[in-house]
Structure 1
Amino acid sequence: MSAAHAQEETLTQTSVEIAIITTVGCQFCKRAKDTLKQAGLGYREIEASNQPELLNKIKETTGRRTVPQVFVGGTCIGGSDDLSRMVTNNQLSKLLHEAQGKPALPTDLQDAIDTASKPNQASTDAAFIPPGISRHEYNSSQELAASMESSHHDIRWANPDLRTFTAAEALRWLMQHKGIQQQEAKQTLALLQQTHQISVVDKDLDLSNEVSDADLSTTHLQLVSSAPVPQFGQPLNRHYTWFGSARSPSEVSESLRQIILLLYDKHLASDGKALNYKALKQDPVFKTYVNATAELQKVDVVSLNREERMAFFINIYNAVVVHALAVFGPASNLKQRLSFFNAIKYNIGGQDYSANDMEHGVLRDNRPTPASPWVLLGVPHWSSGYFKPSDLRAAHVVSPMDPRIHFALVCGAKSCPPIKVYTPTSLQEGLDSATMAFCEGEVVVHKEERVAEVSKLFKWYAQDFGPQEHLFPWLVQYLSGSSKADLQDLLDTVGAKRIHVKYRHYDWALNSQE
Structure 2
Amino acid sequence: MAQGGSSAAGRVTVYSVTGCPRCLQAKSTLHKLGLPVCDVDVNQHAAVRARVRELTGCTAVPQIFFNGVHVGGNEDLQKMPPEELQRLVLLVQEKPAPPDAPPLPEERISHTAGTGDGASELSEVLRNVILKLYADHLSTDGKRVDYKAMSQNSSFRRYCELAVQLQRVELMSLGREERLAFFINIYNSLVIHGNLRLGFPKNVWQRYRLALPDPEPLIHFALNCGAKGCPPIKTYTPQGIDSQLRTAAEAFLGNDDGCVLDPGRGEVKLSRIFKWYKVDFGGTDEKLLVWVLDHMAESPKKSCLQSLLSAGNVRLSFLPYDWSTNCSH
TM-score by length of 2: 0.84
Q: How far apart are the structure 2 equivalents of 1:31 and 1:278?
A: 27
1:460 aligns with 2:327: no
**Number of aligned positions between the proteins:** 319
User: Which secondary structure state, in structure 1, belongs to the residue aligned with residue 161 of structure 2?
Assistant: helix
Query: Against the structure 1 CA distance between its residues 413 and 482, is the aligned structure 2 distance closer, same or farther, given a 3 Å change threshold?
Result: same
Q: Can you give the 5+ residue segments of structure 2 that lack an aligned partner in the other structure?
A: none
1:504 aligns with 2:322: no
Query: Against the structure 1 CA distance between its residues 76 and 332, is the aligned structure 2 distance closer, same or farther, given a 3 Å change threshold?
Result: farther
- CA shift, 1:310, in A, is 1.6
Q: Can you give the 5+ residue segments of structure 1 that lack an aligned partner in the other structure?
A: 131-244, 342-355, 363-396
Q: How far apart are the structure 1 equivalents of 2:271 and 2:84?
A: 35
Contact 2:142/2:233 (<8 A) preserved: no
Contact 1:443/1:454 (<8 A) preserved: yes
- In the other structure, the counterpart of 1:101 is 91
- CA shift, 1:437, in A, is 0.5
For 1:478, the aligned partner's letter is H
What per-residue deviation string (whole Å, max 9, x for no partner) do you get for residues 342-366 of structure 1?
xxxxxxxxxxxxxx4xx13x2xxxx
Contact 1:20/1:43 (<8 A) preserved: no
- In the other structure, the counterpart of 1:43 is 36
For 2:73, the aligned partner's letter is G
- In the other structure, the counterpart of 2:175 is 305
For 1:51, the aligned partner's letter is H
Q: Which has the higher contact order (CA 8 A, sep 6+)?
A: 2
Query: Against the structure 1 CA distance between its residues 307 and 456, is the aligned structure 2 distance closer, same or farther, given a 3 Å change threshold?
Result: same
CA RMSD of aligned residues (A): 3.0
1:60-75 matches, within 5 Å, as 60-65=54-59, 67-72=61-66, 74-75=69-70
TM-score by length of 1: 0.56
Give the counterpart of 1:413 among 223, 227, 238.
227
Contact 2:61/2:73 (<8 A) preserved: no
Q: How far apart are the structure 2 equivalents of 1:325 and 1:36?
A: 35
User: Which secondary structure state, in structure 2, belongs to the residue aligned with residue 101 of structure 1?
Assistant: helix
Give the counterpart of 1:77 among 69, 72, 77.
72
What per-residue deviation string (whole Å, max 9, x for no partner) do you get for residues 199-233 of structure 1?
xxxxxxxxxxxxxxxxxxxxxxxxxxxxxxxxxxx
For 1:313, the aligned partner's letter is F
Q: How far apart are the structure 2 equivalents of 1:502 and 1:433?
A: 24
Q: How far apart are the structure 2 equivalents of 1:403 and 1:271?
A: 22
- In the other structure, the counterpart of 1:7 is 3
1:132-151 matches, within 5 Å, as none
What percent identity do the matched residue pairs reach?
Answer: 33
- CA shift, 1:307, in A, is 2.2
For 1:317, the aligned partner's letter is Y
What per-residue deviation string (whole Å, max 9, x for no partner) do you get for residues 28-73 of structure 1?
4556544444x24222324446321112222332344455443236
Give the counterpart of 2:265 among 441, 449, 459.
449
Query: Against the structure 1 CA distance between its residues 432 and 325, is the aligned structure 2 distance closer, same or farther, given a 3 Å change threshold?
Result: same
For 2:5, the aligned partner's letter is E
- In the other structure, the counterpart of 2:328 is 513
Contact 1:34/1:271 (<8 A) preserved: no
Q: How far apart are the structure 2 equivalents of 1:70 and 1:92?
A: 16
1:57 aligns with 2:77: no
Contact 2:117/2:165 (<8 A) preserved: yes
- In the other structure, the counterpart of 2:165 is 295
